[in-house]
Amino acid sequence: MSTGITKRIIACLDVTKGRVVKGVQFVDLIDAGDPAELAHLHATSGADEIVLLDITATSDARPILIDVVQRTARQLFVPFTVGGGVRSLDDASAIFDAGADKISINSAAIKNPEIITEIAERFGSQAVIVAIDAKRKAGAAVSTEGTVPAEVYLAGGRIATGRDAVEWACEAESRGAGEILLTSMDCDGTRKGFDCPLTAAVAKAVNIPVIASGGAGSGDHFVEVFKAGCADAALAASIFHFGIHDVRELKAQLQREGIPVRLPC
């Protein structure tokens, strides 16, 4: 039976110093353009949501660039998420005032999980995405019970926490997160496909939507992550920026594969 709801395709803009950049496995950054222009371009070509991540705000220990958020939000009429360097309720409030609909918190949520509840109580759970950067544990196989051992990393993949990704996703949900943005550090930037077993493990463990991220390189990868990975949404950055894929073309393929998507877009 059709549930009626569609699988979402989310275009992600990784931003540093006000410019969109793309790296491989979180390093070696190259310039990909202006955030406001790219956000508008993706929305008109059919992206269901836009995510803007300031990927060096935490490592540079500075707040997110509010003017970039404002400029990007101005002409955007699809859901708009902003993340990177959100450390307090005040940081979140400033981002919402600038026109974001949701904030994504990563490092701050691990260090101070109460912030999830604080922001959710003020702005609603629908406005709080907990982003998890996870890396499979070396040598640990997927168990017969379907558990997938993966460790949570902080600060754009720079610091290991020792925490299990699935367990942390469950805690984030119980503290008020409205969605989980799960990035596989092993797959990110490789264009070899999403980490479907890890995505499925998280998606089955929580009752909130899970956005899969890291590894998109072809339309087939999106089909896999929606089917085998049980993802509610999938996020990609580089494949859209350089015009390798148009969201419209990707959605047409998903529809042919029987995956419900928003069309026409």
Partner 1 sequence: MITLIDYKAGNLTSVRKAFTHLGQETVVTDDPGQVRDAEALVLPGVGHFCTTERLATSGVRAAVLQAIERGTPFLGICVGMQWQFAGSTEAPETQGLALFEGTCKRFETTLKVPHVGWNQIRRTPEGEHSRLLNGVPDDSFVYFTHSYRAPVVSGVSAVTTYGETFAACVERDNVFGVQFHPEKSGDTGLRILKNFCDYANERSTR
Is 133 designated active site?
yes
Of 98 and 169, CB closest to partner 1: 98
> Which residue, among 232, 109, 121, 122, has the nearest Cα to 176 in the 3D structure?
121
Please identify which of the residues 34, 91, 133, 232 carries the catalytic annotation.
133
Which x/- pattern over 55-94 shows residues binding partner 1 (rule: CB under 8 A)? Answer: ------------------xxx-xxxx--------------
User: Which span sits near partner 1 by CB under 8 A: 1-9, 51-59, 191-199, 219-227?
Assistant: 1-9
- Binders of partner 1 among 183-212, rule CB under 8 A? 207-209
* Member of 68, 233, 237, 247 binding partner 1 (CB under 8 A): 233
Residue 127 makes contact with partner 1 by CB under 8 A: yes
Cβ neighbourhood burial of 186 (10 Å; 0-12, 13-18, 19+): middle
* Member of 28, 31, 97, 249 binding partner 1 (CB under 8 A): 97
Residue 36 makes contact with partner 1 by CB under 8 A: no
Residue 104 makes contact with partner 1 by CB under 8 A: no
- Interatomic CA distance for residues 183 and 172, integer angstroms: 15
* Member of 72, 81, 125, 199 binding partner 1 (CB under 8 A): 125
Single-letter amino acid code for the residue at 12:
C
Angle between the 35-44 and 66-73 helix axes, to the nearest 10 degrees? 30
Q: How far is the CB of 69 from partner 1 (least distance, A)?
A: 11
User: Which span sits near partner 1 by CB under 8 A: 2-10, 164-172, 186-194, 218-226?
Assistant: 2-10
> Which residue, among 86, 44, 94, has the nearest Cα to 67 in the 3D structure?
94
Of 32 and 208, CB closest to partner 1: 208
> Which residue, among 167, 146, 131, 160, has the nearest Cα to 14 in the 3D structure?
131
- Interatomic CA distance for residues 50 and 38, integer angstroms: 10
| Contact indicator for 72, 19 with CB cutoff of 8 Å | no
Is 164 designated active site?
no
Query: Rounded to 10 degrees, what is the CA torsion of 135, 137, 142, 147?
Result: -70
Single-letter amino acid code for the residue at 160:
A
Give the binding site for partner 1 (CB under 8 A).
Answer: 3-8, 43, 48, 73-75, 77-80, 96-99, 101, 123-127, 178-179, 207-209, 232-233, 262
Which residues are designated catalytic? 14, 133
